[in-house]
Structure 1
């Protein structure tokens, strides 16, 4: 039996309404998503994690599974491409797309550069608001660019898609734009994006592994600054150098290897907030940017495994008496740094993710808390790349 996509769209719309995910300041988003539903931009094969790897779900042979994957949840991305066993493209979660496009503050007539076309859905939505011919989109993968062009044409959307590396290129046509909307995660913003945006224009992008940011370009065009807008995890920049180690547990295992701990001590710390408190997670992500934290439940409570993608690692294991045992190794005492950053976050009043912002100049980038000029700040550095030949 063919699934009723109209019914699934209506259920998603209602779920967004119940959750308050339709932005009040951008009422155009709800009719735009109704006119240009996500399923019209989905390929006929999606990918689902089965616990050991990604398996394909074909629309023609498993239409219910395909639709179920696409409409699973307003917060769920749908994986549309897998390369070397890992996701390399996706249709972003509807709630996150709405949040980011709301942050972009598009008005009719704006010239928009959509960075990372994917399947073309975000470009289509931006064009619905900005107007025909006002959106140009760049996509590194030529096959994806072709796919997006076909879907945009089928939807009657006039938007230009160009196969190019937006991390190093200027927007096609060479003119400055009013808005840049990036759909893949970058740790440091290419300054070319600032130069490509008119003074007063906005750049909305996913920052690294957690959260998205809206920058406003200064009147002199020499910098851009703005606040964190919300949480969201996106595909990484495929043109960036390959990371030294994978994320998650496999990355920790690769970094630690068979090394024995170099230090061991007991700490009086309940580790549960590392798993559940997203504001804490964001604060640690700012203060210890290369620390990747994986949490799980052990015999006595929450445990954490930490690595920096290079040579440093730490393990925090819950004990029966409410303390935690810290083991660590490598040139950086990563566990000590994370615990110190946690203490600092407490001393700063346990700020939320929305209390942070980012400033970008030609020569440096930093995150700041509460005040771009006078608040505490932390430098942002590019991620470590794998040595040549790896």
Structure 2
């Protein structure tokens, strides 16, 4: 048996396993059965480059198709909630094939129908643009990619799949729809903290925008009938790459926290009547992210006890430590009391009845943007620009409701 035949058989097996895993985990959307057909017609491996990158716990290591075809296939068809990293810059991922479960959920949220004109923002390897073109039809999908090499790669893979979709090089965060006019649907694959107003202007009234908002979730917005704004609900949880042309946000973890804290002594020390381990709850984390968007939280363990580290990427920091006697101490330093901001947001979440992330949404107008809870006229928080992050897409939580 030739190596090519053997590899083809291996890939076929991986595709079948992914299909079964998606079925078992409930990742095939009932309202969008076309996605399962499109995945079969456009296998993920056909949009993967010959070199992928695997995190080994310390650094990203290359996994080459030529040298390790089984390992490469394992990266392409790993867990359905895991992205396959396709480009790195040191220890920072720059591009990926998004997790299959994220892709299906976002495209289901887009409510894409044949005949829709689509703007795919952030082409990457071209897989989501290809899936959208398979559904919408020939000549109806245009995709924007800031990286010329990635755009060329995606263009070649889309053409090899026999699809008619345009891939252009440009900065979609600041430019309009390539070729002009308005689209029916906009699908973004990289995270933004504030929604570019040009994206809302690009979509016809009543049209749909699905985008990763910040570093934790994605939202589905509907443009108002008069085009004066857009609003919609959180539809899923996942981490995404950020706008590569935006300034990078410092990451989490102990090292980043130590960099911000430095050697300074705490300027504020007090007893906290809370268990810091509560901040490992992703519902709490999401509420804090909404209320204090520049707070970067990490959790660690020291002497078998939980420690929560918080910083703003600049000069303010806090840490909450549980002591062996059961009490918790909050230490803070810097020009703002970011620990107090986090605990206040935590208390507000409790006062609101401990809502889950799918009970939040955002509204976008030409002059302002804000997040809200429960209903568009409910409690709200302003959305202010913060430093963009470059992050890897990870497993989403199951969507609770279709909005």
Alignment of 1:186-335 (within 5 A): 186-243=192-249, 245-275=250-280, 277-335=281-339
Distance 1:210 1:84, change over 3 A: same
Distance across 1 between alignment mates of 2:349 and 2:360? 12
Q: CA deviation at 1:385?
A: 7.9
- Find the counterpart in structure 1 of residue 375 from structure 2: 371
Alignment of 1:1-390 (within 5 A): 2-3=6-7, 4-243=10-249, 245-275=250-280, 277-373=281-377, 375-384=378-387
**SS, match of residue 251 in structure 2:** coil
Q: CA deviation at 1:365?
A: 0.6
**SS, match of residue 310 in structure 1:** coil
Distance across 1 between alignment mates of 2:98 and 2:71? 18
Distance 1:249 1:159, change over 3 A: farther
What's the CA shift string for 1:138-195, capped at 9, x where partnerless?
Answer: 0000000000001111111111000000001111110100000000000001000000
Distance 1:23 1:317, change over 3 A: same
Which consecutive unaligned segments of at least 5 residues does structure 2 have? Answer: 390-403
Which consecutive unaligned segments of at least 5 residues does structure 1 have? Answer: none
- Alpha-carbon RMSD: 1.5
Residues 60 and 90, structure 2, Cα contact 8 Å, conserved in 1: no
Residues 119 and 183, structure 2, Cα contact 8 Å, conserved in 1: yes
Distance 1:385 1:101, change over 3 A: closer
- Find the counterpart in structure 1 of residue 394 from structure 2: none
What's the CA shift string for 1:49-69, capped at 9, x where partnerless?
Answer: 122211111010011111111
The total of aligned residue pairs comes to 383
What's the CA shift string for 1:39-84, capped at 9, x where partnerless?
Answer: 1100000011122211111010011111111212000001100124
Q: CA deviation at 1:384?
A: 4.1
Q: CA deviation at 1:242?
A: 3.4
Distance across 2 between alignment mates of 1:384 and 1:212? 18
Runs of 4+ residues over 4 Å off in structure 1: none
Residues 251 and 296, structure 2, Cα contact 8 Å, conserved in 1: no
Distance across 1 between alignment mates of 2:388 and 2:98? 26
**SS, match of residue 47 in structure 1:** strand
**SS, match of residue 293 in structure 1:** strand
Q: CA deviation at 1:122?
A: 0.3
Residues 300 and 318, structure 1, Cα contact 8 Å, conserved in 2: no
Which gives a bigger RCO, structure 1 or 2 (Cα 8 Å, sep 6+)? Answer: 2
Q: CA deviation at 1:300?
A: 4.4
**SS, match of residue 297 in structure 2:** strand
Distance 1:89 1:384, change over 3 A: closer
TM-score normalised to the size of structure 2? 0.92
